[in-house]
Structure 1
Amino acid sequence: MTSVPCDTDSTNDQALVVPRAEHCISRKQIDENTLKVLYRLRRHGYQAYLVGGGVRDLLLGRQPKDFDVATDATPEQVKGLFRNCFLVGRRFRLAHIRFAGNYLVEVATFRRQPRPEELPADTDEHFFFTENVFGSPREDAFRRDFSINGLFYNIEDFSVIDHVGGLQDLADRRLRVIGDPLVRFTEDPVRMLRALEFTARLGFNLDESVRQAIYLRAPLIAEAATARIREELMELFRHKVAAPVLRDAQSLGLLPHLLGGFEGEVETFELLEQIDRRTDSGRPIEEHLALAALFLERYRHACQAQEIQTIGDAIRIANHLLVPHCGYFRISNAIRHQARELLVGFFRLARGRGRRGEGRFLRHPFASASVELFSLWSEASGREQELAADWRQAIEGIADPSAKKKQGEATRRRPRRRRKSRRPPVDKKA
């Protein structure tokens, strides 16, 4: 099977079309609501393709988490076909079609890069304008980020259409940028982080041109919107690839620009691996746990260097680390407080058993989560494993009512004997 080169200037304008008999995608694998959208668009004379990650995952034998649709119908025309459609986005106009069960199908109109003479005179309007110039399926494919995300599934004849060489890259298990990586990363620096995420999630190799471009364009990611970076970071944790992606980001010089000068230590990445395994086991990841894991080694070293002994000083150091990060990424005080509680709880646990106030601490709402973080760190580092087991046993005893009952019965005092009255006996005859 041959594919066309990923070059918008290529004279070969013929896409590779793979008929139904030669690929593994079946309509049975596609959500029925997505099929309804595809078929209704086709019945009304519009082109309708399944696009992006859904096609990629189906070809890899993976179950997509959602499906996206691309069409030549404008957002307003899509809205006219579906009563349950809502148009979203001022910069990039999309149609969201909602179904029962809070299921959403996103429909985008084919876009293209505008020609220089089409751009508005006001340069401030260029970005908004370029995001909403409609085009052909081929032009839309070349606007996408990676070749493996530029594949289309045609609902009309069930074929797979490849304009950008994505099928060959899937076969080679290679991640490649559509177009010049230096240009594409300059357009959107967040693509650098997404490139590392896809290689980790899919087990692909990063194309050498992409690797070099990340190294050269790494400082640009500091200019990306903090809300996007924050969400992309949490996606790494949700997809159980935080450890390999952030480790690669550090080796390529991306991590310090991504997290405002942050430099991860070996122990940090080992702890993140444990966090990824925890998420992979079915435990949901929350932002305060991710924050605490990122800053735990720096917190430990700071407490040791300053020979911290009091809880007040432990709280001060936690705030010193977390406040700048949370302020930069606009993370709420509630999440910052929860991350701080985990770090301070770790400090308490690391001091060992038998401290004053231990029973009160074990009944604290964050005691169980702190013990879990301490256990994850112990497994990752190979240190304090007996202490971690001891703390787990202690917290289980607090949480298990039957254990508390047994403990109470063992320590219950004997009932006092009733003292005999010293009053003189009453003379009943009198």
Structure 2
Amino acid sequence: MKEKNPVILSRDQHPISRKQIDPDCLKVLYRLHRHGYKAYLVGGSVRDLLLGRQPKDFDIGTDATPSQVRKLFRNCFLVGRRFRLAHIRFSGNKIIEVATFRREPDADELPDDPDEHFHFVQNVFGTACEDAHRRDFTINALFYNIADFSVIDYVNGLEDLFNKQLRVIGDPLVRFVEDPVRMLRALEFAARLDFSLDDNILQAIHTHKALLATAAPARVREETMELFRRGIAGRVLEQCRQLGLLPHLLAGYPGTDEGIALLEKIDQRTHSGTDIPESLSIAALYLRLFMDSCPPTADINLTQVLHKANEIITPHCRYFSIAGGIRHDARELLIGCFRLARGRGFRGEKRFLQSPQLPKILELFRLWSEVRPQLAPLLQEWRQASHNHQTQSPKKARSGQRPARRRTRRKKSAPGHKPS
């Protein structure tokens, strides 16, 4: 590949300050630089700093090989068999990831055994320019050079950042075949940053959307949970539905108007600072389908409801290898919402009001009642019942206590004396 002269912004031409960079990350950058290696802050952290956002992680790119990095840091551990990385550990379980610049190998460099191609391709070291062109999107291929505090751009990422546009590096038709998860990441970045998508990205997604079903389920699961953590699940999954991507993303999940509306309520909850467990995200995804399959007005018992809940969420949980405990909690949330929607006065209500899951069930039902306002009176009725039960239970416990038995000490008998 022919080296391209980059666009370079000097320190006085950009807003990034070292005060915004993690102190431990700075230590790593400075040590690499002092030993004669290139040391760049790379990827999303540079993008976020230029946008005035606080990065979640700070990653480093360098021309030092993983073994050379390990020699510089006693707290360094090399990880990854296919993609060799250096992890430098600090207190508090903090990890600074250091990656050696990579490049695409020439065809005549590939090993004879095709099975070894992937491992080989991932570990061919190169220059900063070559590394930038291997990345996914132009806005994620910007470098911050600790040597002179400049920002380096080989792929016109600064222009796209200024124009609030998301562009793939290279041909999207090729890059999405290389890694289908990039289609989901494109929608995620556009939603998270409020950027527009380049037209050729949308065309490539339409062409290759079925390829997403071939991606590793573990990666898709993590990217999907990231949507919930970022509070953009409703927006992104609705766009996936419009583009025909949703069934390929979530193992056949069709999505509904009310289902997407519930996810948007979940996102609003996340923006308020409340974490979302995976069980709640699964229950929210499937609540509309579950309630349609066993409407509260139907003559159906709880055993049948349990079977329906399992029938709906088990394929999802198996496909994504979700642990049994998470699946159990998601199922209990669904069944609990059915019981709330059915109303009061049924067998087992007292035990249900004592359930430790009830606050989570009420929270999900509250969000669902915002989608279906006709359920709001039931929500209020159950909240009052829960409050009454909590206030009465301690009184009953106190009134039902038996008086403590008074213990008396038996007098010791005199030596040699036998009790009569």
TM-score (norm 2): 0.92
- Indicate the residue corresponding to 2:415 in structure 1: none
Partners of 1:308 and 1:230 lie apart in 2 by 36
Quick one: which of 71, 78, 88 aligns to 1:80?
A: 71
Q: Contact (CA 8 Å) 1:270, 1:381: kept in 2 or not?
A: no
What secondary structure, in the 3-state scheme, does the structure 2 residue paired with 1:69 have? strand
Q: CA deviation at 1:16?
A: 0.2
Q: CA deviation at 1:405?
A: 5.2
**Residues 1:154 and 2:134 are matched in the alignment:** no
Quick one: which of 307, 313, 318 aligns to 2:298?
A: 307
Q: Contact (CA 8 Å) 2:296, 2:338: kept in 1 or not?
A: no
- Indicate the residue corresponding to 2:161 in structure 1: 170
Partners of 1:363 and 1:290 lie apart in 2 by 24
Quick one: which of 237, 240, 251 aligns to 1:249?
A: 240
- Indicate the residue corresponding to 2:366 in structure 1: 375
> 1:283/1:38 Cα in 2 relative to 1: closer, same or farther (>3 Å)?
same
Q: Note the alpha carbon deviations across 1:126-178, whole angstroms, 9 max, x for none.
A: 11111000000000000000000000000000000000111111111111100
- Indicate the residue corresponding to 2:186 in structure 1: 195
The aligned length equals 400
Q: Contact (CA 8 Å) 1:173, 1:203: kept in 2 or not?
A: yes
Partners of 1:162 and 1:58 lie apart in 2 by 15
Quick one: which of 24, 42, 60 aligns to 1:51?
A: 42
What secondary structure, in the 3-state scheme, does the structure 2 residue paired with 1:177 have? coil
Q: CA deviation at 1:281?
A: 1.2
> 1:326/1:68 Cα in 2 relative to 1: closer, same or farther (>3 Å)?
same
- Indicate the residue corresponding to 1:420 in structure 2: none
- Indicate the residue corresponding to 1:260 in structure 2: 251
* Equivalent position amino acid for 1:13 in 2: K
- Indicate the residue corresponding to 2:311 in structure 1: 320
* Equivalent position amino acid for 2:97 in 1: E
**Residues 1:281 and 2:272 are matched in the alignment:** yes
Q: Note the alpha carbon deviations across 1:172-197, whole angstroms, 9 max, x for none.
A: 11111000001000000011111111
Moved more, 386-395 or 82-91: 386-395
What secondary structure, in the 3-state scheme, does the structure 1 residue paired with 2:276 have? coil
TM-score (norm 1): 0.90
Quick one: which of 328, 332, 340 aligns to 1:337?
A: 328
What secondary structure, in the 3-state scheme, does the structure 1 residue paired with 2:201 have? helix
* 1:119-130 mapped onto 2 (5 Å cutoff): 119-130=110-121
Partners of 2:224 and 2:32 lie apart in 1 by 35
Q: CA deviation at 1:325?
A: 1.3
- Indicate the residue corresponding to 1:354 in structure 2: 345
Partners of 1:144 and 1:12 lie apart in 2 by 16
> 1:280/1:226 Cα in 2 relative to 1: closer, same or farther (>3 Å)?
same
**Residues 1:64 and 2:55 are matched in the alignment:** yes
What secondary structure, in the 3-state scheme, does the structure 1 residue paired with 2:41 have? strand
Partners of 1:307 and 1:278 lie apart in 2 by 31
Moved more, 122-131 or 39-48: 122-131
Partners of 1:329 and 1:305 lie apart in 2 by 29
Partners of 2:266 and 2:387 lie apart in 1 by 21
Partners of 1:307 and 1:354 lie apart in 2 by 16
Q: Note the alpha carbon deviations across 1:168-227, whole angstroms, 9 max, x for none.
A: 111111111000001000000011111111111111111111111111111111111111
* Equivalent position amino acid for 1:332 in 2: A
Partners of 2:150 and 2:142 lie apart in 1 by 11
* Equivalent position amino acid for 2:134 in 1: R
Partners of 1:394 and 1:347 lie apart in 2 by 16
* Equivalent position amino acid for 1:341 in 2: E
> 1:278/1:212 Cα in 2 relative to 1: closer, same or farther (>3 Å)?
same
What secondary structure, in the 3-state scheme, does the structure 2 residue paired with 1:304 have? coil
> 1:397/1:48 Cα in 2 relative to 1: closer, same or farther (>3 Å)?
farther
> 1:376/1:209 Cα in 2 relative to 1: closer, same or farther (>3 Å)?
same
Partners of 1:318 and 1:249 lie apart in 2 by 25
What secondary structure, in the 3-state scheme, does the structure 1 residue paired with 2:255 have? coil
Partners of 1:288 and 1:308 lie apart in 2 by 28
- Indicate the residue corresponding to 1:110 in structure 2: 101
Partners of 1:163 and 1:59 lie apart in 2 by 16
* Equivalent position amino acid for 2:209 in 1: A
- Indicate the residue corresponding to 1:229 in structure 2: 220
Partners of 1:150 and 1:230 lie apart in 2 by 25
> 1:83/1:397 Cα in 2 relative to 1: closer, same or farther (>3 Å)?
farther
Give unpaired runs (5+ residues) of structure 1. Answer: 1-7, 414-430
- Indicate the residue corresponding to 2:126 in structure 1: 135
* Equivalent position amino acid for 1:362 in 2: L
Q: Contact (CA 8 Å) 2:297, 2:342: kept in 1 or not?
A: no
Partners of 2:28 and 2:120 lie apart in 1 by 27
Q: CA deviation at 1:52?
A: 0.3
Q: CA deviation at 1:101?
A: 1.4
